[in-house]
């Protein structure tokens, strides 16, 4: 995997009631353990979100609050090609996908429910074949209230 496979990696967190979004180095977005560790350096009112879009193929949302780590992988079939996806699958203790041709989200679909985005809405976005991972994460950011800040980073 090359650093240019990472479309973007950001941390988003609320500080004094306001969302802050910080760009992470692309290499952090290649490894779930490094991503999780990087999230520990930010203040956390509601948990720190790590958002990674990978090669227009899939995305990962990691949410860290203290020692608790929650994760969502947008496409389980990514574990056949991507170390980041393998790391998330390991974190979630998932078995190998039964059908490597059946893309579906795995992990905690309710990862953002308490922030205003129900798991069903996130699942519908993941199932939309016309959307790229970046599009979905932009929609997520808009719904949670930090879309402009994400756009300022990723363009």
- For residue 73, the enclosing domain spans 3-154
Residue 134 sits at φ, ψ, to 5 deg, of -60, -40
Q: What CA–CA distance (Å, rounded) separates 135 from 80? A: 23
Give the H or E element holding residue 107. strand 106-107
- Domain count along the chain: 1
Q: What is the pTM of this model?
A: 0.94
pLDDT (tens place) for every residue of the chain, 155 residues total:
455 789 999 999 999 889 999 999 999 999 999 999 999 999 887 899 999 999 999 999 999 999 999 999 999 999 988 999 999 999 999 877 776 677 889 999 999 999 999 999 999 999 998 999 999 999 999 999 999 999 999 98
Q: What CA–CA distance (Å, rounded) separates 68 from 152? A: 29
């Amino acid at each position: 995997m090359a650093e240019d496979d990472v479309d973007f990696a950001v941390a988003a967190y609320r500080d004094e009631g306001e969302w802050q979004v910080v760009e992470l180095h692309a290499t952090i977005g290649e490894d779930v353990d490094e991503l999780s560790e990087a999230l520990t350096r930010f203040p956390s009112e509601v948990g720190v979100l790590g958002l990674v879009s990978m090669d227009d193929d899939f995305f990962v949302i990691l949410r860290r609050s203290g020692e608790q780590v929650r994760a969502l992988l947008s496409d389980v079939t990514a574990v056949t090609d991507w170390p980041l996806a393998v790391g998330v699958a390991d974190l979630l203790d998932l078995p190998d996908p039964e059908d490597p041709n059946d893309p579906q989200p795995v992990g905690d679909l309710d990862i953002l429910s308490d922030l205003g985005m129900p798991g069903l809405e996130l699942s519908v976005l993941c199932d939309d074949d016309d959307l790229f991972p970046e599009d979905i994460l932009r929609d997520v950011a808009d719904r949670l209230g930090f879309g402009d800040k994400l756009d300022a980073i990723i363009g």
